């Protein structure tokens, strides 16, 4: 039979687990807030805020997409992009575009080539923390200021600029509250687990003492 201390420890442990689970789920809910969008430009600049997370979408034009449909390209094609930080330092990346050929059953007329991956070649780590795990352009800003996103014209197989360059902020509602919930849940769960383990050892010691007295 478990004693009151054991039940108390288990209760704390379960509360901690629930808090961590709820906090982690809520932290995974991300909303996108549009910051700005410019059409038919090779570069665009926005004022970004320290500690905020952003995403950039560089939309391919019809002219960018045509070679894929014709079968000229059978693998993702790189486009060089730079992000210039407020201090003038440059982050270089290769954005990989792909679209299905017209012979593919997945081909859809009018659907532009999409970003299939991102390769970071040089990162200004003083200003940006990039998300290497994402196949899209995602980064957290370390320094508030004006950031310039540029598509290198010579790296594109077309003379057309992108259809548009869009930047948006990735916002987690009540982030601080949910982070606190995860941290607090970890503390409560650890305390509960320790209490439960201590109560078990204490119960065993009590039983051993009773057994020795009866002997």
What's the mean pLDDT in 79-93? 96
Q: What pLDDT is stored for residue 68 in this prediction?
A: 96
What are the tokens at 16? 């901690």
Q: Tell me the pLDDT band of 38, cut-offs 50, 70 and 90.
A: very high
Out of 59-63, 99-103, 136-140, 205-209, which region has the weakest mean confidence (pLDDT)? 205-209
Tokens 């012979």 sit at which residue?
A: 103
CATH 3.30.70 at 31-171, yes or no: no
* 83 phi, psi to nearest 5 deg: -120, 115
Q: What pLDDT is stored for residue 190 in this prediction?
A: 81
What are the tokens at 129? 């923390």
Domain boundaries, the chain: 4-23+177-214, 31-171
Total-model pTM: 0.72
Contacts of 163 (CB under 8 A, 6+ apart): 39, 40, 59, 60, 61, 112
Q: What pLDDT is stored for residue 31 in this prediction?
A: 82
**Per-chain mean pLDDT for the chain:** 85
């Amino acid at each position: 039979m478990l004693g009151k201390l054991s039940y108390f420890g288990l209760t704390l442990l379960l509360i901690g687990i629930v808090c961590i689970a709820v906090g982690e789920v809520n932290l995974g809910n991300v909303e996108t807030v549009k910051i700005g969008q410019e059409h038919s430009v090779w570069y665009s600049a926005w004022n970004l805020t320290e500690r905020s997370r952003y995403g950039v979408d560089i939309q391919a034009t019809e002219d960018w997409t045509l070679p894929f449909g014709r079968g000229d390209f059978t693998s993702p094609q790189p486009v060089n992009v730079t992000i210039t930080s407020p201090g003038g330092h440059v982050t270089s990346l290769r954005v990989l575009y792909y679209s299905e050929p017209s012979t593919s059953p997945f081909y859809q007329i009018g659907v532009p080539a999409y970003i299939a991956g991102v390769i970071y070649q040089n990162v200004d780590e003083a200003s940006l923390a990039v998300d290497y795990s994402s196949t899209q352009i995602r980064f957290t800003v370390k320094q508030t200021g004006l950031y310039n996103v540029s598509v290198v014209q010579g790296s594109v197989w077309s003379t057309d600029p992108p259809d548009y360059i869009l930047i948006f902020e990735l916002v987690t509602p009540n982030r601080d509250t949910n982070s606190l919930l995860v941290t607090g849940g970890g503390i409560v769960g650890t305390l509960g687990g320790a209490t439960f383990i201590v109560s078990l050892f204490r119960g065993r010691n009590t039983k051993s003492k009773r057994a020795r007295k009866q002997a």
